[in-house]
């Protein structure tokens, strides 16, 4: 195993994991979006070590360039109210969440222990054009042509739907159940 | 690099995302946790595709997942905006219009 490759892998994995923790733990959603950005960049680096150059590019362009910017736009549109004041969930939901998390982590631990100390399976040498734009594009426009076109239609529908949902329009005030944030009493 | 390292990194990433989705209740953070989980799954797909380097199925799958995640983020954020316009909050606990 190449020492330099291991160092690059460790660096990218560390960036991705720290970014994910920041995403989940940050109180301010802008910090969370920055953590998501760091996760995405780290995973793009991991894709590079997996000989998936095209996907690393797409990851940076689409996720870091479009999705995170969209998140940032919405967070800035909402302003200070994007930070919710009372954050922690009620005890019931918290216990269910923690229990599910504990169970799944135990399952993962059991799987790792059951796999035992077998020698890690190193990758064989990849074929010459594995993961390049040329080969992925060839695959996309031959075997996966119909899903590719359908994903274009899906994106179009998503854009039209997002505009239709988010478009500002006057709301009839009589239809509002509770316009104020803590108007639970007004509902009943 | 061994395959197992990637799978473990992806599993830990997925658990962090799942924990965020279960514990937080800011709608924006929930959407970002979903993105973290999708990224973890993408990482496993690409890693297993690297192990079976004869075809590109895993990478094609990842491509489509990235496209769908982008669409999901757009629609989800639009819904968050509409919800904020209605209730002027982003707490998921306040999304109780259908409860009664």
Residue of chain A with shortest Cα separation from B49: A50
Q: Rounded to the nearest 10 degrees, how much is the dihedral formed by the CA atoms of B57, B61, B64, B65? A: -170
| pLDDT tens-digit map of A45-70 | 999 999 889 999 999 999 999 999 99
Mean pLDDT of A119-133: 78
| pLDDT tens-digit map of B14-38 | 989 988 888 888 899 999 999 999 9
Of B1, B39, B63, the CB nearest to A39: B39
Q: Which two tokens stand for residue A7?
A: 């160092």
Q: Rounded to the nearest 10 degrees, how much is the dihedral formed by the CA atoms of A86, A92, A97, A100? A: 170
Q: Tell which of A1, A16, A19, A124 to mutate to test the B interface (max B CBs under 10 Å).
A: A16
| pLDDT tens-digit map of B39-88 | 999 999 999 998 888 888 999 999 999 999 999 999 999 999 998 888 88
Of B11, B19, B68, the CB nearest to A24: B19
pTM over the 0.90 mark = no
Residue A39 scores a pLDDT above 80: yes
- Cα angle, residue A100 at apex, residues B95 and A92 outer, rounded to 5°: 50
| pLDDT tens-digit map of A97-115 | 778 778 888 887 888 778 7
Smallest CA-to-CA distance from A52 within B31, B66, B32, B34 is with B66
Using a CB-CB distance cutoff of 8 angstroms, which residues of chain A are in contact with residue B32?
Answer: 23, 29, 32-33, 35-36, 71
- Per-residue pLDDT band for A173 (boundaries 50, 70, 90) equals low
Burial of A119 (0-12, 13-18, 19+ CB in 10 A): exposed
SS3 assignment, position A88: coil
Smallest CA-to-CA distance from B19 within A97, A7, A53 is with A97
> Comparing A182 with A75, which gets the higher pLDDT?
A75
Residue B3 scores a pLDDT above 80: yes
SS3 assignment, position B37: helix
- What ipTM does the predicted assembly reach? 0.93
Smallest CA-to-CA distance from A67 within A85, A44, A40, A49 is with A40
Q: What is the mean pLDDT of chain A?
A: 83
């Amino acid at each position: 195993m190449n020492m330099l490759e291991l160092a690059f892998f460790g660096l990218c994995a560390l960036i991705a994991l720290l970014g994910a923790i920041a995403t989940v733990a940050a109180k301010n959603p802008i910090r969370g979006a920055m953590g998501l950005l760091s996760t995405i960049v780290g995973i793009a680096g991991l894709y590079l070590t997996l000989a998936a150059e095209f996907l690393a590019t797409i990851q940076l362009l689409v996720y870091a360039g479009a999705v995170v910017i969209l998140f940032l736009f919405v967070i800035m549109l909402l302003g200070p109210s994007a930070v919710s004041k009372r954050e922690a969930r009620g005890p019931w939901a918290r216990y269910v969440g923690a229990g599910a998390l504990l169970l799944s982590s135990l399952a993962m631990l059991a799987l790792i222990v059951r796999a035992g100390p077998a020698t890690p399976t190193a990758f064989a040498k990849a074929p010459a054009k594995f993961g390049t734009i040329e080969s992925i594009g060839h695959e996309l426009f031959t075997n996966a042509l119909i899903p590719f076109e359908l994903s274009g239609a899906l994106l179009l529908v998503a854009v039209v739907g997002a505009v239709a949902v988010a478009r500002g329009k006057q709301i009839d005030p009589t239809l509002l159940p509770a316009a104020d944030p803590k108007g639970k009493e007004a509902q009943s | 690099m061994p395959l197992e390292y990637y799978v473990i990194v992806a599993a830990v990433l997925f658990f962090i995302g799942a924990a965020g989705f279960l514990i937080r209740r800011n709608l924006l953070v929930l959407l970002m946790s979903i993105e973290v989980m999708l990224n973890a799954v993408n990482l496993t797909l690409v890693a297993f595709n690297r192990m079976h380097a004869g075809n590109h199925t895993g990478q094609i799958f990842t491509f489509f997942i990235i496209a769908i995640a982008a669409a999901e983020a757009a629609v989800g954020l639009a819904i968050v905006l509409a919800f904020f316009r209605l209730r002027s909050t982003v707490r998921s606990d306040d999304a109780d219009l259908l409860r009664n």
